[in-house]
Amino acid sequence: MADEGGFSHVAAKIPPGTHIALYVPTLAGGGAERVMLKLAGELARRGYTVDFVLNKRQGAYADHLPAGLRQVVTLQRRSKWQARLTVLRAFPGGWKEAILPVLLARTPVRNLRYVASLAEYLRRERPDVMISALFYANLAAIWARQLAGVPTRLVVSQRNTLSQLIAEGVESRRAAWRWRYLPALLNRCYARADRVVAVSDGVGDDLARMIELDRHKITTLYNPVVSKKLTQRAAEPAAHPWFVSADCPVILGVGRLEPQKDFHTLLSAFALLRARRKVRLVILGEGRLRPDLEARVQELGIGNDVRLPGWVDNPYSCMRSASVFVLSSAWEGLSAVLIEAMACGCPVVSTDCPSGSREILDDGRCGPLVPVGDAAALADAISHVLDVPTDATVLKQRAADFSIEASTDRYVDCIASLLS
């Protein structure tokens, strides 16, 4: 379904120099930011005029901006009260939907303090198309275009499973009331975009259900993930010594140390597996759950065989050398690290989480899928893949469907359909 959405392959009809803006709040080290950087770089390489627009030029990827950009635009922040007034001006008929999830909330206002400056950018530069990512940035883009009164076509992209984001927000008691009222706001606002994009069919289905938007108005466009640089970096020496030694299989996990990634279940599965065979585990990533995970390692008595070295600059060399890559997430949008591991030829195991993993693994053809949170099933699946690894050629062929070139082709087709 990834090519659906009411357009066909007409990319050649977009002239070189078409002005495209990409907007994210910061360059924090998340998947959405990385995807937007890859997309921007490939669009620029193809001869389009590309602006990268940011609230703040900061984050783990601040030094990873691609070559060929026309400009990197840093927006100006307004006060919280100015931000609230700006939203009311841009969304005069929707104050009831906006008041709880946005106008009276702290974090959304922090993001929306840049709406007025984004509107000024649109009036000044008048890009042909703007693509935004992350839902508060999507709201900012929608309202900024409304204020600017320009013909810029707007593509908003949903990167994660909305129902899971809302459930996490409610369960954590972080302004639970704000999360409950968010779907009604997104329903009113996303309808104003020229195109709503989801990174997987599962994310699109969930979004349509949660905000009561016609599913046919949501286009699935897979993220640009696999690049030639990834393949080159995978050939470099592994970033951890356990991957150099061949005396023991090494299981690899990669991701933020946050509840979504559910590394607690991976640790429990590893403890079960370690009780019956010699094996090691490396988890690359950083986050607020590090103390909890380190404590859990000690509780399970697996400290000699588990390492949490934090972020590494080149995880791909570890993926190439690992015996199995495991995605233990409770939910995803479209897991880039799962695709990257496959591109490196590493056998994979994944939870059958909402959403994306089943699509990536082609209903299990490219690796086993296990229930979320089931440590015993995860341990059994890892053991099976250690004994009968999936052929690397099959994995790499499937990963090629998520290449930067293939994904950018689809985005260009989408843009062409909006400008034709």
On whether residue 197 sits in a domain, the answer given is: yes
Per residue of the chain (420 residues), what is the pLDDT tens digit?
444 444 544 444 788 899 999 999 999 877 789 899 999 999 999 999 999 999 999 988 899 999 999 999 999 999 988 888 887 788 877 666 766 566 666 666 677 899 999 999 999 999 999 999 988 899 999 999 999 999 999 999 999 899 988 887 766 655 556 677 788 889 989 999 999 999 999 999 999 999 999 999 999 999 999 999 999 999 999 989 999 877 899 999 999 999 999 999 999 999 999 999 999 999 999 999 999 999 999 999 999 999 999 989 899 999 999 999 999 999 999 999 999 999 999 999 999 999 899 999 999 999 999 999 999 999 999 999 999 999 999 999 999 999 999 999 999 999 999 998
On whether residue 372 sits in a domain, the answer given is: yes
102 and 209 together in one domain: yes
pLDDT tens digits, residue range 178-219? 677 788 889 989 999 999 999 999 999 999 999 999 999 999
204 and 286 together in one domain: no
Contacts of 102 (CB under 8 A, 6+ apart): 87, 108, 109, 112, 139, 185
| pLDDT attached to residue 2 | 47
On whether residue 3 sits in a domain, the answer given is: no
Task: Give the bridge partners for 49, in sequence order.
Answer: 19
139 and 82 together in one domain: yes
C-alpha distances in Å from residue 291, one per residue of 74, 88, 254, 258, 272: 35, 42, 17, 11, 22
On whether residue 254 sits in a domain, the answer given is: yes
On whether residue 5 sits in a domain, the answer given is: no
On whether residue 6 sits in a domain, the answer given is: no
Contacts of 149 (CB under 8 A, 6+ apart): 123
369 and 283 together in one domain: yes
192 and 307 together in one domain: no
118 and 141 together in one domain: yes
Contacts of 120 (CB under 8 A, 6+ apart): 148
Number of domains in the chain: 2
167 and 266 together in one domain: no
Which domain CATH number covers 330? 3.40.50.2000
Measured distance CA(141)–CA(135) in Å, rounded:
10
On whether residue 2 sits in a domain, the answer given is: no
190 and 243 together in one domain: no
160 and 218 together in one domain: yes
> pTM of the full predicted structure?
0.87
78 and 187 together in one domain: yes
Which domain, by its residues, includes 300?
228-402
157 and 181 together in one domain: yes
Token pair 């082709």 is found at 409
354 and 408 together in one domain: no
On whether residue 4 sits in a domain, the answer given is: no
